[in-house]
Every structure is written in C-alpha cells, then in structure tokens.
Structure 1
C-alpha cells in the first residue's frame, strides 16, 4: 500500500510505540529491523515475533514474515550465526509452516520457506552471500523482501497462509501497526490513485507464479523424495515439471555441497529459469548453474584447450555439398534434403554410431521411412562425405562437440563433480547427449533428474532412456494435472492432431494432454485463415485488441523464414519486439517473437501463432513423419498460452 510521507511517519511512530510496549528491553538492532518490518504491516503483510525475543536462544527464528512475496524466516544477528544453529532455527520454521494449504488444496513445501539472516550495516542493494545456507541481508536492504517484481501471491492467499501460521507458531505473537485513525488533519494519508494502482497491478499479476510458494501435494511429494539413482519425471504440457525441478534444486542445494547444474537442449530456457530460481532461492542461487547444453560443452572444451569451430551456415553448406554427391542415390526414396540431414544428425551421429555395421543394426525410432541394408549403406556414404566436407573447412557440428566433450571426460573427469544435474526438455536431446550427461552426473542418490514429455518432441528421431544406459525403474514419476492453461486454451490444444500415444521416455505408457485434469477455468481461442496479403491487417488488428499486455504476449511461428516475414511486418508497423533467444523473463513492454523451437518450455498470458502453408515431403512414410512432427510442434505452440490464443493459418 502506498502511503504519503506524513502517513509513513505516523506508522513509524506507531511501530516504535508498539515494540516498546511489547519488548521494552529489546536490543538496538532487532528494534530497528522489527520497527521497519512492522511498518509494512499496514499493507498485506503479517509479522510474527518470538515472545521470548529479549532472551532469545538459537533454536528458533526471531520472526516469521508472510507477504505477497512469500514466507520468510528471519534471524536478526549482530554477526553471522553458527551454521548448525542457523539450520536448526530455520528447520523449526519449516516444520511449523510447511504443509499449510491454500483454498485449492496446494501445500507450502519446505523448499518455499525463505531463510534470511539480517545483519547490521549498509548494503549496496545486493545480496551478501553467507557461509551458511541462508540469504544474508544488510538491515538497510530490507526493502528487497518486498520488491513488487517478486510478488506472486494475492491477498487471499496471504491471508490463508497467515491464518494457519497463527495456529502453528506457538510462542510467537502477531504484531500489526495499523493505519492511524482518519482525522481531518490527516486527510490524504494515502497517495492519490494508490487504490486504482493496486487494482491495475492485481489485474496484471502473474498468478501462475504462485507455485513459488504453493505446490500440489503430488508435486510436493516428488520434491521431497530421495531417489537411489537416476530419476525421470514425465507429463504433458503445463503439468508443472519444471516447477518440481526448481524446488528440488533448492532442496538439494540446501542439503549438499558442491555445484548443481540445470541444463537443456533449448537455448532460451536457462536464462529464464535462472531468473526465476533467484526469486525462489536467493540464498543458494549462486550454487546452481543454468546453462544451455552446448554452451556448457563448449565452455568445458575451451577449459581443456580443445578448440571447436561451430558455424551454422558453414555446417549447412557442408551438408548441401555432400548431398549433391549422393542425391541421385537417395532422392527417389525421399527428395527432401532436410529428411536426410535429420537422418545423419539425429540417427547416425545423434546415436554415436561409428561404423556402417553399427548403423545397419541400430534402431531408428521415430523414423517412418524404412531403409534396407543397401539404402543404409548409401546414407552412411552421405555421412562420410559430410564429415569430409566439415573437415575441409575445419568445422564441427553440434554432435561433434558432444563427442569431443565425452572423449575429454573419459580422459580426465571433472576436478569438482556436480552434486546434482537436472535436464529439462530431455526428449529433444540426442542419445549421445544423454550418455554424456549420465557420465557427467556419475553414480549416487539424487545425482541425475531427467524431465520431459514425448508429446512435445519437436525434433525427429527418438530413443529410450535404457538406450543410454540410464536405469530409472522404480524412480519414474508422471504428472497428470495441468496448472498452466485455462480450459478454453487447453481444449483448443487438445483438438490439435498431435500424437496421442507416447511412452514415459523409457517404453512404458505415458500420459498425453487429452488425459490431464484441468484446474483453471476460462480462457479463449480465436482463429483466422486467409491469404498472405491479408495477414498484416488481421495480425495488427488482433494485436490492437489483445486481452493481455504485449509484454506478456508471444508471437510464435514454425520456420525461420516465417520469422523474418513477421518481424519485418511488425517493424514496419512500429511494434517493438524482443527475440525469444534474448528473452530472460524480465518484464518489459515488447512483444516476444520466435520459432516454436525457441518457445519450448516458456509460458505467456497470450500467444499469437502464425502458421504458413509449406510444402510437405512427397513420400508416404516421410510425409507421415513430417506431419506428425508438425502436429507436435503445433501443440507446443498452443500450450505456451495461459489465457488466450490467436491462431492464424496463412494460405
């Protein structure tokens, strides 16, 4: 709540009086800190303070703060507390508050309680890293506990948590300053327009971020579970797989030493999830690396003095020149160069095959076009010529980078191993990438967590975890409740003709989007179809009538060439855009724009999907495979939206 300066002074005076009445012998530091926090309780903030604060020991936190930013357990200390004592104190708050439920039956997990040590002195607006697993905050930086951009609970949720906490926090007193009584001379205590501003903020809030504090009981159980070996989480779009991963990372970081790694094949996700994790777990944010898989590989190879040269245009040229040599042998089977490039990229090199005999025996999961031995030998010849063309130019493709990194790991493992590795969108990683991650994680409990959904696979080819030597029997989880998409959006996505039979990433029966339980009502989808000449008028008209801010909206296409067309259209119309590859989750007013490959794993209040008609492979099996892949990509695009989808089909 926004107060005038006069009102702030009155509230501060009330806070000082209340503290002096409740705790007359309170030391200066806790008096200053609690006075500042107490002044905040005129808004949607609840403060619980230890009744024995003046004779406090180290077995409990000094205060528990509940606000729209979550639940905070606070120790106010003149110097950094002993780590063991701090752990015991924070554990007390976790045990008291964990399990509090909201009106939807979701629970507050241990991983959602923020441990904070408030230390004396001035800060520089930055978190001070403590020796223990907590957030160390200078007293002058207390405002960081109330940053608007970190708010993720509404008033109802805060009140529900505070009401239940009051019955659980034995030995604590709830303190509240309250607004001064309205008098003629105190007119204008509230800044003009503050109530309207609060209403606007509430309308633009991101309620799907409430998972920072609340989890479904099934999600909570997975977060708290210990796995004796590699584990797998699968489930359709919107079921909260990444939510579980981030909470598990926080829990594991609190209870382990050494670095942790979050990685994925999708380049856009690490930066977005890193920013979210800093909101969820500021006390351990520097313990977890969020890095795109190939960025990690190239950094690792550079640290070992292994030079790699990856150039997308040069790689495409090398394959195109190899294709001209072998086109006559393969084009009658399938004339599309893209099909054969995927065969080499995802099957031959993606499975780490090194001889033609291995290729002759290898399964080709996900590939509809059957190849006999002679045809496979012709593909192998294409592969060898492609490798020669790369070598002529001193280039490496992405599969080469994986292979070089694994060779280096075999030669010399990491000096400091990771305490845990989480892999998101695992269904799109190659088999060689999986094997490398298995080696990188090593053996032991909770070391490797694989997360994905076969129905959202946007690249051709496939595998099972057993192919990579990753046993997950008895350590597999399937999520079945959709928390992201409103019913109208979910029903639209269910109507897309995506593959309706998938496995759980290891051959067992999986769950598809049509089988999930929906929990959010409402939502709207609109469709438009017309020639390319009419697209500008239709798209710009829809943008002008969007039910969500442009900053929380994404435009998604299926090919890079279509991205170029749409970006030009928007630029000429004066609409500010942000490429998805540059998106970090930070709020702004720009329309996000990118291909479906860059949109994977992200979510927005509204999504504009523009689908241009394109030529399909001519062969029956290849056409079937291409259509199946496109339908999965369409499902991914639609399920990025929480509230609204506009779908344009351009003829």
Structure 2
C-alpha cells in the first residue's frame, strides 16, 4: 500500500455491498482498491458531503461513503448515488464520551419528550446516566426511556449491535454492567480494540483489503457477542448444551468452540461434527475461513460418515438399509400379529435406535409416550420377531445407521478405537438415541468433553429424546442464545408463529435486530398460476440487484422441487439443485435446505395436503404418533420460513396449510 492512510471497513459497508449485483460489486472493489493505494486519484473525485462523511465515485451512479478518524479512512457504506447519500444524511460518526467506543449512529427521528415516561415504558426505571454509561448516545437516552417495548425495538435499529444487545438484556431483566472506558493512544488502536471489532475490521495490507472486499462480512469477520464469547471460551466440567432459534449464531459458536479447543489442547484430537454431509461441508469451509488454514488436530465430518469409517476399522463393511429395505421383511415376519404395520415399524425402529438387542433390555425399557400399551407377553412376541429382523440384516451383511452407531460405540467403550479429547456437535436436535450415545462414547469423559448445539424448533427427523436417559447431564451447563442476527424481525415473527406448542417455552422468543419487507403469502386456484407468480417474483428480485445464487426455491417433496427447477431453466433462468455447485437460483426440498441461508426464499406449495404430508399422517400408528408427525411437520415449515435473511414468498393453491399463520 503506497498511501499513508490506514484502512478500515465497517459492517454497514458490507450490508450496502450485499445489495448490489456482481458487476456493481466489482466496480466498488476496484474503486476502493484505487482509493486505498492513492486517495487523490482524480477519477475518484473525493469530496466532503454530510456530517462526518466523504464520497468517492465507483461509477457514474455508484458511490462509496467514507469517514475518517485521524489517519484512518473507514469505508462506511456503498450504494447507488441517491440511496448512498440518503444513508449518509441520516447518520453521524462519534466517539462515545462515556465508553470511548467509536460508533456509526443513525440520527433519531423522534422528538425529545418533555413529559414523564408512560407506565408501559420498560426502560423508564433506568436513569439517564446509567443508559449513557452503557454506550447509548445522548440523543437516544430520553427516547429510549419514554418508549414502549415496540418503540424501543424500533429505536435500536439505529444503534451499533453491542448497544442493541445491552438494551435487549435490560428488557429481559438481566443485569448489565457498564463496560470500562476504552483507553487508547490513537485511532488505529481504537479501531483495533475488541469493542470496535464488533463493527469494524482494520486492514493493514493491500492483500488484506482485497481479500476483505472479495468476501462477505460473515466470511471475513466471525464476530461474537458477549454471551457467545462467554460460551466459546468457557471451561465446562462436563457436557454443555447451547440452544437457540434460527439465526441466533449456534453454528458460528460451534465453529469458534472447535478452534478454541484446538488451541487449548494443541496435541489432542478434536471432532467437529453435524447431522449430514452438506452441513459438514459448510462447517469445514467456515472453520478454515476463521482459522486461516486447516487445523491439523480438528476432524470435520458428519456423524454417520464417521461412524461408517470407524466401523470398517473393527468389522467388515456393511450395506446401510433404510425403511424401504427392512419394512417388507418386518411386515412379512409379523403376519398374524394383531398390530398395524405402522405400529410394528415404529416399535422396531424404537428398539433399534435404543439398541435393545437383548430381551432383558427390551422388557425393562420404559415405553412412556408410546400410544399402544403392551403386556410382558406381547412384548415377548414382538421381540422374537425383532430378533429375526436383526438376524436377517446380519445375514445380508447389512445394518441400519443406528446399528452401526451402536457397534462403534461398543468398540470405543471396549478400547478398540481411540477417542477424541473433545467433541463439538452442531444441529443435534435431529440426532437419535444411537447417535447421541455415540457422541458420548467418542469423547473422553472430563472437562470440555462434549459441546452440543441445537434448536428444538428445527427437529424434523426424530422425535424428542431424553438426554439424561443417555447419560448426557447438562444441568448447570446449558446456555440459550436469543438474539437473531440473520433474519429480519418480520420473517422471524412469521416463522415462530408456526411452531408447535411443545417447543414454545424453549424455542420461541428470539429477538431479531434487523428490519425488512413484509413476507408475501399468496393463494392461488391452481399450481400453474402459483408457478407463474413465483417466476415473476424471482425476476423482480433479479431486477432489484440480487444475484441468482442468493435466491432459493423450496418445496415439501422432491417431485415439486424438480418441476420448479425444470421450469426455471425452461424460462431461461440459471438454476441448480441445492446439492450441486453453480451460480444460479437454488431449488430443492426443505429437508435439503436445513442449516442453509439465503437472501431470498420462496416456499412453493404451502398447501394443506403438503403441510402436513398426508401419507405420513396415514402411516401414524396411533394418536400419539400422529401428534409427533404433526409436530415435525410444523417444525419443517418453520425451517423453510426461517431460511431467508431478507425476502420471503410463500405460495399455495387450494387450501393453505393449517399451520400457516394468516
């Protein structure tokens, strides 16, 4: 870098950049690189505009908004000319007098109240000096004290994230200790301070600038809020659990935790695992992005693949049989027994998941929550059939994933396989008993052994499992993340209204910091009408500057997803499946989108015959199992609605899903 000015990029700059198309982002990158090498470059036309801001040209219509702290230039925002200038008009840059923190603040558009705070103002009990000590700007103090809870949330949009979190903690009734004042010698030290790194990243070479401009804020800068930092760095005396709704940063926490443990135990093996291959790939890329390189002592793999690899070290390879393979065998062996095929299947899968391979284990197992009671004699008759199913699998050189997990667990417990020093597992709400018992066996028992993240609202594969019954005692080591950093409040509130009541207490109530457009819900007479409107919406998004790869179309079943994909391609729109590489619009099932996020999402087919899926309801053996199916179907709808960051379109034909909020 040839200029004398240091370089800093703010989170708000990335938010502006993400709204531009690929060509425009390239123009922004070229202009900013030119500026950082020589701020006086003539074509940039550096000029002072509103308040503390300057502007440079990236094209005839594109502008980059900058601010300056001593010798440090900060890229604060970018966008089209009028919109970028409006952004600057409504903001100011200041160093807070109490905390010493640098802040980009939106100028409040409310009158300063003169009367007493109303009775329903939740922050009225805190005096002005205390709010100032938390870093609240002076002209926000009175409006916050006088606002209703909804008014407080509206005002928070204009404040830095660290201040938002402190105010949200106050609303939750949590004690908030004022941060110590930042003591630094110059602007570079101020912007490099941990408090400033929540909002800014200081870059010290042209190569760093180029890398930062090529990626997103999330890819370049995995920031953590205070509760996340506490959880990531904690020393736990046993298994620890972190829960939170969609967008609250559970996966970011898991990735940071894996890196922290790798640094804490550099000579030990650490496992970072999750539910499926796509999520494991995402974890591996993100961990490398955070660490800057692959960490040699961290293994990243999805649990079933790891189980298969370990199984081959202690036994012959096996074929994995799913329901399609073992159900006909079970039904044939159970002919003459007075039970429905649905009940027999669910009872056998329960026994297989829990590893009840001997009569004494099945006889003494609590069937609490199972709708059909069984006497000891009836259990005996069923168990004899179950044994024959397991014998058939063994004779065919086959096993279920549960069976493989139990065999590997036994090998670990008997010392035939080495364990990991620590295991970090993401998306564990969909792990069944066999997988959870395997996780317990994979980690050496002791400090920092197991770290598990989950969202009960996204449980779409398995029913709930008692962790305590599996030896996973997390009492006193459980934390909940509540602040949603990804999804807008409008989308988050709609998604949460679909949740089953069984997860209400633990999963509801995430607080979204972002605001955005109201989600669209559209009803049609026929599927073709819905498809035409969906295509119009996708084209509208592309016209707004979104790239095709920022958009996803999700459906409940493969057939519907495939028909959408074919139509997108037939209409000349680039598209690819969720498990393929490409730059087009993504399409696939809701199950395939689990753990992913997009700027815009369309749910195609939120109709009454798809949510819940009728075939699954018809297979339920009894009322309790039907209720479990409905709970998982609600959770699946929640997963779909919580994938977008900004835009959500929901279309159905005929009757809407009964789970869909009006």
Q: TM-score scaled to structure 2, two decimals?
A: 0.63
Give 1:270 deviation, angstroms.
Answer: 0.8
Match of 1:488 in 2: 490
Partners in 2 of 1:559 and 1:101 — Cα distance? Answer: 47
Superposition CA RMSD, Å: 4.3
- Quick one: which of 516, 539, 548 aligns to 1:544? 539
- Asked if residue 164 in structure 1 is aligned to residue 190 in structure 2, the reply is yes
Give 1:644 deviation, angstroms.
Answer: 1.6
Aligned positions, number: 481
Match of 2:599 in 1: 605
> Cα 1:534–1:363, aligned 2, differ >3 Å: closer, same or farther?
farther
- Asked if residue 220 in structure 1 is aligned to residue 229 in structure 2, the reply is yes
Match of 2:242 in 1: 233
Q: Does the 8 A contact of 1:322 with 1:389 survive in 2?
A: no
> Cα 1:164–1:236, aligned 2, differ >3 Å: closer, same or farther?
same
Higher relative contact order (CA 8 A, sep 6+): 1
Match of 2:590 in 1: 596
- Quick one: which of 515, 521, 524 aligns to 1:521? 515
- Per-residue CA distance 1:236-282 (angstroms, 9 max, x = gap): 22211111111122222222222321111233101012111211111
- Quick one: which of 266, 270, 278 aligns to 1:268? 278
**Greater alpha carbon shift after TM alignment, 571-580 vs 447-456:** 571-580
SS at match of 2:486: coil
SS at match of 1:285: coil
Q: Does the 8 A contact of 1:351 with 1:432 survive in 2?
A: yes
SS at match of 1:502: helix
Match of 1:445 in 2: 447
Match of 1:394 in 2: 397
Match of 1:348 in 2: 351
SS at match of 2:639: helix
Give 1:376 deviation, angstroms.
Answer: 4.7
Give 1:575 deviation, angstroms.
Answer: 4.2
Q: How does 1:1-16 map to 2 (within 5 A)?
A: 11=38
Give 1:328 deviation, angstroms.
Answer: 5.7
Give 1:11 deviation, angstroms.
Answer: 4.5
Q: Does the 8 A contact of 2:562 with 2:588 survive in 1?
A: no
Give 1:368 deviation, angstroms.
Answer: 5.7
Give 1:439 deviation, angstroms.
Answer: 1.5
Q: Does the 8 A contact of 1:46 with 1:176 survive in 2?
A: no
Partners in 2 of 1:640 and 1:161 — Cα distance? Answer: 38
- Quick one: which of 461, 469, 472 aligns to 1:467? 469
Give 1:331 deviation, angstroms.
Answer: 5.3
SS at match of 2:492: helix
Partners in 2 of 1:388 and 1:439 — Cα distance? Answer: 25
SS at match of 1:263: strand
SS at match of 2:520: strand
Q: Does the 8 A contact of 2:257 with 2:424 survive in 1?
A: no
> Cα 1:480–1:308, aligned 2, differ >3 Å: closer, same or farther?
same
Give 1:543 deviation, angstroms.
Answer: 2.4
- Quick one: which of 511, 534, 554 aligns to 2:506? 511
> Cα 1:620–1:400, aligned 2, differ >3 Å: closer, same or farther?
closer
Give 1:598 deviation, angstroms.
Answer: 2.5
> Cα 1:101–1:284, aligned 2, differ >3 Å: closer, same or farther?
farther
Partners in 2 of 1:493 and 1:7 — Cα distance? Answer: 44
- Per-residue CA distance 1:73-96 (angstroms, 9 max, x = gap): xxxxxxxxxxxxxxxxxxxxxxxx
Partners in 2 of 1:638 and 1:355 — Cα distance? Answer: 43
Give 1:542 deviation, angstroms.
Answer: 2.8
Partners in 1 of 2:494 and 2:194 — Cα distance? Answer: 44
Partners in 2 of 1:306 and 1:484 — Cα distance? Answer: 45
Give 1:442 deviation, angstroms.
Answer: 0.9
Q: How does 1:15-414 map to 2 (within 5 A)?
A: 104-106=160-162, 162=188, 164-165=190-191, 206=216, 209=218, 212-257=221-266, 258-283=268-293, 285-304=295-314, 306-310=316-320, 312=322, 316-326=324-334, 329=337, 332=340, 337=342, 340-345=344-349, 347-364=350-367, 369-373=371-375, 376-377=379-380, 379-381=382-384, 383-414=386-417
> Cα 1:301–1:624, aligned 2, differ >3 Å: closer, same or farther?
closer
> Cα 1:251–1:354, aligned 2, differ >3 Å: closer, same or farther?
same
